[in-house]
Structure 1
């Protein structure tokens, strides 16, 4: 493993943000690692901890009911400042931690072993740790296990990032897009920030494939994806969530603006000239749904937009339909 870059906090935060992993739901690949450490070490708590600007956020944690802590309390914040593992055998006897609220209060941490999660370019973005509520030494083989598992956690983060892009369109995969929706829902719950979801489906796409072949169909997918990416704002997310179905996540956008954005996308797609002999023209149908009380899971939010998309298809295609927020949704 290359030596850590320890004196570039902006670079470290940029490296963390590239993974786009903060505030995402739990995932088995990470939970299996913390479960294994807890079992092998015989400790009550294990975590994959990521250190953000002002907080410690847990991608996976076993044995503690928390999703984050202030960075000032984080043992892992000390671990990322080192090239080697951080071992604390008795936190009460260590002046760095003796008055830490996590030591003097719940969960009463007494011992800690943490290995930095180091990116391929050398930034420690968090740590993989084992935590006990009693003073103890950690056996050399335990430390070797942590040191062996930490790069595996980083590899999972790398694979996760690669798997977030659809190979044909370059758009986010369905899984990655839904994770982005989940983050937007969490933000709405905490701060009541508006957002809107737009689904679009290329009209008569099966007919294109049947008449011209799948390579031409792929060319249509690529053209529509490129159009969506070009028209999107930097804060928007574009995902390919089905064969010929795309989704747009528009943060800080209410119903009226989302419907207007869908119209812009609709007109731009209708204006596309796709290279073929003769050149192809396509249209798309759109369903729009703003976030609201009855749409506080990704499944419900997608269902609302999908129902509006179905209405657009049934109403003649090449149109955008809004799923209005009901009284229940607005409550």
Structure 2
């Protein structure tokens, strides 16, 4: 690992945020920590991450502390090194002798191996801990390093499963999972949220006329434009084929409409030479959270109904499902809006 990666805290934090560690239980982590605890004969083992000014103890065996200040963690010392951190007796180590876990007798010895990403950032540590002083021999250190590599491998696999390989948008499964979280926040705290579905107009014709490689380029460019248009808190998902979804948490109807129109215009302004002058457009359906939305599937279906009306009424426009509910009849042309 290059030394500057150890000192690049902004890059390290950004690397951590690329990985999906939001789930409270990750079964492979639990199996790994359970094995480490048994094989090394330690009473405690954990997968930890340094996240800003805190240590997140994600998966733990033998104790039940979920979070500590970064300043009070052994892990912050582990991620500052390219190799394992071995502390045979924390009571005699000036770095840790006044640590509250040490002074109260909970932790006396520590072995930690950095969780290093393929691009060289230390996200956290896999650590084994004992209540008594002990020496960890080279074979035990090597064994823990191998288990740490498995933790990183699992993080990578989860990331691959989370994102669509062609466009970089999240997969439908991930999109649905995050939709449920937004719905839950609405139900519990009445926090607003909006969902956009959009579909590239006449995409089959693009594939048939210019070939699938050109169609793939269109998908990539549209996804790129969407990502450039959205806020960091928004989520772009590829729902299937040429259909995308956008989650807009903490967003009221007027702002969601404005976002949809900005993106519609951005897509319509795309120029791709490989399409020989042919333009690109997209149709949008919007659904804002209400008491009638109880599931991700229902929310997506409501936005999809609005998207269907946008396509039926001429494409390259946005339709609000809320306006559909209020309309006296099938007047989709009147339900689209302009900003």
Name stretches of at least 5 consecutive residues in structure 1 with no aligned partner.
325-331
Shift of 1:124: 3.5
Deviation per CA, 1:164-223, whole angstroms, max 9, x where unpaired? 543322433445656766887899899987554322234565676678764554354335
Residues 29-108 of structure 1 aligned to structure 2 (within 5 Å): 29-92=28-91, 94=93, 96-103=95-102, 108=106
Q: Distance in 1 between matches of 2:249 and 2:293?
A: 15
Q: 2:263 aligns with which of 257, 262, 265?
A: 265
Query: Residue 206 and residue 62 in structure 1: after superposition, are their counterparts in 2 closer, same or farther (change >3 A)?
Result: farther
Shift of 1:56: 0.7
Q: Distance in 1 between matches of 2:173 and 2:124?
A: 24
Which of these two proteins has the greater Rg computed from alpha carbons?
A: 2
Residues 223-242 of structure 1 aligned to structure 2 (within 5 Å): 223-233=221-231, 235-242=233-240
Taking structure 2 as the reference length, the TM-score comes to 0.71
RMSD: 4.2
Q: 2:219 aligns with which of 218, 221, 225?
A: 221
CA contact (8 A) 1:228 1:238 kept: yes
Matching residue of 1:328: none
Q: 1:114 aligns with which of 112, 115, 137?
A: 112
Partner SS state of residue 237, structure 2: strand
Corresponding pairs, count: 316
CA contact (8 A) 1:12 1:123 kept: no
Residues 202-217 of structure 1 aligned to structure 2 (within 5 Å): 202=200, 205=203, 214-215=212-213, 217=215
Matching residue of 1:197: 195
Taking structure 1 as the reference length, the TM-score comes to 0.72
Matching residue of 2:136: 138
Matching residue of 1:249: 247
Query: Residue 93 and residue 194 in structure 1: after superposition, are their counterparts in 2 closer, same or farther (change >3 A)?
Result: farther
Q: Distance in 2 between matches of 1:279 and 1:148?
A: 53
Partner SS state of residue 241, structure 1: strand
CA contact (8 A) 1:287 1:305 kept: no
Q: Distance in 1 between matches of 2:224 and 2:249?
A: 20
Name stretches of at least 5 consecutive residues in structure 2 with no aligned partner.
324-339
